[in-house]
Structure 1
Amino acid sequence: SSVTCHWIPGLIKDFKELYPTVHFELHQGNYTEISNWIKEGSVDFGFVNSNVSDLTTIPLQEDEMVAVMPVDHPLTSFTEVSLEELLKDPYILLDEGVIHEPLMIFKQYDFEPDTQYRVYDPYAIMSMIEQGLGISILPKLLLHKCPYNIVTKSISPSIIRTITLAYKDKRVLPIASRYFIDFIIERYREI
């Protein structure tokens, strides 16, 4: 969702200025679905987490994961929050189809969040947080231009996800897809 909302529209607009006859078909899913679509050839490429086998992956950017909470939450007065402090509230899990980066960090420290909700749509999670149903950890990119009345805080230790471009075999992709892949890499590759 974060890439679809915050990168893709600008990329398509700029790419179509160079290649106005190119048409796009966008599919949105979780990391597992996207990886499977690429592997089976129903999509040419996609954005995934960095832990994908059997695909060519190109890390583009790192994105900080942040704690997201209601505006009246007691932790809003802190500059950053610890993972342990996040265990005290109901946790709303963003179901991404694979192990969620924050859950891996929780397990690393032998912490178990009180996961009361598993939600596929990150915007639904933000709405639930705004209503005081719990807290979550979401990608910072997703929270750019956030329309919800919520608060974000850095987490200690920090949690970073890597936004990665993936494809199966670039040589057999349509030329427009190959050019768009190169265009994306030129625009966003920082790693």
Structure 2
Amino acid sequence: MSLVKYEIFSKAAEVNSFTKTAEELGLTQSAVSHAITSLEKEFNFPLFIRNNTTIKLTQNGKDLLVTIREILYYNDMLKQEVSAINGLNKGTVKVGVFSSISTNWIPYMIKEMEKTYPNIEIQLIEGNYAEIEKWLLDSKVDCGFVNNKTTALRSFDIVQLKTEPLLCVVSDKSPLHSKKHISVEDIENAPFIMPTYQCFDDLQLFFKENNIHPNIRFENMNENSIFSMVENNLGISILPEMIIPKGLNSIKVIPLELEQTRTIGLAIRTPISPAVKKFTEIAENWCRLTRTLSE
């Protein structure tokens, strides 16, 4: 068993390129190709389908990927435990994040990690809820920020970090601007701008649970574009509180008559490694501090 070959295989499966794998691991392309070919001879079946410029996992390669990443995870955890016994905190934490977490939380958490545990490296991969769940299940990340309502991660520990309201944003020119609460009727009658990336699942659940049929005029993945469209009175939208920027005078933020929240948690692979445990503690402390300051 060669852990170096496994690391090369895992990285190649992630980036779909032997050239990029070589660049990221500091190896020559021939070394990467040789390692993969050696594994394929050892296993007696191909791991990748090779095209001119890209590679793609075979089904057998996909079947082995999770197990190989588990082996690498336990090897890294062994190194971390040995370092901890010797009085050092070392290791790497791969974290799945979505955009509002990247903007509002991660810079402060990384700053605190670098201050307290300078030998622990944080690697970030950004996606939406579904992508982060898949990365966790495929062992691509060690932990990930998720919506606590997920049912796909029953085997993971999920630490609850924050519950926040979904709020409606309208233009200062909208006839809804003076309202204290936005009703179901308001949502169904006004042109609606549907976020299609980060909080799509939150809204879909809200609409389904309350039998709401929004008048969707636009669908947009980018929150900045949504705010620009709302500012120009092209429609209203509903977003989590964390996403809504402060100080936009041309936009009014209004609570929903039917209160709706999202709960953000940190899903953690088990058994938890020492480095991931340190990151989890930093994340919990940061969220606890921000809650205290806002009260």
1:127-138 to structure 2, matched below 5 A, reads 127-138=228-239
Counterpart Cα distance in 1 of 2:128 and 2:239: 14
- Gaps of at least 5 residues in structure 2 are 1-98
Counterpart Cα distance in 2 of 1:11 and 1:149: 32
Structure 1 counterpart of 2:108, which letter? Answer: G
* CA 155–16 in structure 1, closer or farther in 2 if over 3 Å, else same: same
Task: Please give the per-residue CA displacement for 1:89-148, whole angstroms capped at 9, x wherever unaligned.
Answer: 221112247863233232333220012322222222212222222111001111143668
Counterpart Cα distance in 2 of 1:153 and 1:26: 33
Q: CA RMSD in A?
A: 2.2
1:19-168 to structure 2, matched below 5 A, reads 19-52=117-150, 53-54=152-153, 55-96=156-197, 100-145=201-246, 149-168=250-269
Identity in percent: 29
Shift of 1:70: 1.4
* CA 147–85 in structure 1, closer or farther in 2 if over 3 Å, else same: closer
Aligned position for 1:10: 108
Shift of 1:2: 1.8
Structure 2 counterpart of 1:56, which letter? Answer: D
Counterpart Cα distance in 2 of 1:118 and 1:31: 18
Higher helix proportion (structure 1 or 2):
2
- Gaps of at least 5 residues in structure 1 are none
- Asked if 1:179 is matched to 2:278, the reply is yes
Aligned partners of 2:187 and 2:215 also within 8 Å? no
Structure 2 counterpart of 1:65, which letter? Answer: L
Stretches of 4+ moved more than 6 A in 1? none
Aligned partners of 1:59 and 1:164 also within 8 Å? yes
Q: TM-score, normalised by structure 2?
A: 0.58
Counterpart Cα distance in 2 of 1:80 and 1:111: 16
Counterpart Cα distance in 1 of 2:249 and 2:224: 9
Q: TM-score, normalised by structure 1?
A: 0.87
Counterpart Cα distance in 2 of 1:91 and 1:146: 22
Counterpart Cα distance in 2 of 1:20 and 1:149: 43
Shift of 1:75: 1.0
Which is worse superposed, 88-97 or 63-72?
88-97
The number of residues matched between the two structures is 188
* CA 111–122 in structure 1, closer or farther in 2 if over 3 Å, else same: same
Task: Please give the per-residue CA displacement for 1:73-101, whole angstroms capped at 9, x wherever unaligned.
Answer: 11111122212212112211122478632
Larger radius of gyration: 2
Aligned partners of 1:170 and 1:178 also within 8 Å? no
Which is worse superposed, 65-74 or 145-154?
145-154
Counterpart Cα distance in 2 of 1:151 and 1:188: 26
Counterpart Cα distance in 2 of 1:43 and 1:147: 36
Helix, strand or coil for the counterpart of 2:125?
Answer: coil
